[in-house]
Structure 1
Amino acid sequence: MSEIFSLAEKFKIQSEKQAEIIEQEVENATTQLNSFMTAKLQESEAIIKQGMESLDTSNEQLLTTLAKHQTDMSTDLDTYMSNVQAHTVKHLNLFAKDLEKTIEAYTQHIAEMIEQREDRIAKVIKSEMRKWLIAASLGALAMLLLGLILGASLVNKYSKPIYINQQIQPQPQMQQPSINYGQR
């Protein structure tokens, strides 16, 4: 049994040494891993800082570029709007002149048409007045003739000749002295 104890004791000692060695190796590995990780983290941190600085620079450049872009766009938009406004005003002025000419021509055309219609109406009225004048004149003449005939017939029918009963006495005749032209 003592051999078992001594084997167990040896085994225990060896196990403890083995555990110490393993523990030492684990600790070394952990230290190396820790050093490695720390170095990598520092490297990553440096890269991140560099990236952030680069990003800040990029952001500043981007903001500068965007501001310039916005200014350029605003200038271009103002120029475009000025051009559009100038062209619009020009075209509206031309349109107004054309519209004015069109209205003037239309007004002249309407005036001519009104004048032509007035002339036609005047001709129709003159024509109708001639007809009416002729008809009225004939009617008046017919009425006058009818009145004369009627008047004459009424006068003949209802008037009786008035005879004046005066005896006509012969008036003494005076003798005119006879003039003898040969005696003188």
Structure 2
Amino acid sequence: MSEALNLAEIFKAKSQQQAKIIEQEVESVTTQLNSFMKAKLKESEAIIKQGMQSLDTSNEQLLTTLAKHQTDMSTDLDTYMSNVQAHTVKHLNLFAKDLEKTIEAYTQYIAELIEQREDRIAEVIKSEMKKWLIAASFGALGMLIMGLILGALLVNKYSKPIYINQEIQPQPQIQQPIDYGRR
């Protein structure tokens, strides 16, 4: 059971480590995005100030510059999201592999425990069966001996010769002939 707890602790530590790594990468990418956005916002502010200061700049140039700036921001945001997704997927895949290995190790450990317990149960049953077999054999032998003794006693008691007293024998009856003329 302590191995299972050790595996759980290792799994917990790896999970926390993976979470910290993902959190650090997200923070790093978020910081980069924040600084990029600030720079772009400053550029936007400078562009707007410049546009307001020089009214001779055409409205089309201002719109083109702002559209380009918006496209750049959209592209950077898409890149940021792709990077975060890629890092997250990568770390989640590693986490899934670690989880799979941990579950596999735990399953192997449980299978070994079950096998050990089955072996112990088989040994106990075998030793108990030997004891019962010996006891049953002695019991059967004892019953056989007691049966033989009881049988011998009964035969001895009831097999005494019977003497018939011939003096008291009844007289044989003679059958009278049947007279068929009388009815």
| TM-score, length basis structure 2 | 0.53
Structure 1 residue 83 and structure 2 residue 83: aligned? yes
Rounded Cα–Cα distance in structure 2 between residues aligned with 1:62 and 1:93: 46
Cα deviation for residue 111 of structure 1 reads 0.7
Counterpart position of 2:146: 146
Cα deviation for residue 158 of structure 1 reads 1.3
Consecutive unaligned residues in structure 1, runs of 5 or more = 1-51, 163-184
1:77–1:53 distance in 2 versus 1, CA, 3 Å: closer
Describe the SS at the equivalent of 1:57.
coil
Rounded Cα–Cα distance in structure 1 between residues aligned with 2:89 and 2:101: 18
Alignment length, in residue pairs?
113
Counterpart position of 1:93: 93
Name the larger-Rg structure: 1
1:65–1:152 distance in 2 versus 1, CA, 3 Å: same
Counterpart position of 2:155: 155
Cα deviation for residue 66 of structure 1 reads 2.8
Counterpart position of 2:74: 74
Counterpart position of 2:120: 120
Aligned residues: percent identity?
91
Rounded Cα–Cα distance in structure 1 between residues aligned with 2:123 and 2:61: 90
- Of structures 1 and 2, the one with the larger relative CO (CA 8 A, separation 6+) is 2
Consecutive unaligned residues in structure 2, runs of 5 or more = 1-51, 163-183
| TM-score, length basis structure 1 | 0.53
Cα deviation for residue 160 of structure 1 reads 2.6
Structure 1 residue 135 and structure 2 residue 120: aligned? no
Deviations 1:87-110 (A, max 9, x none): 122112212211221111111101
One-letter code of the match for 2:152?
A
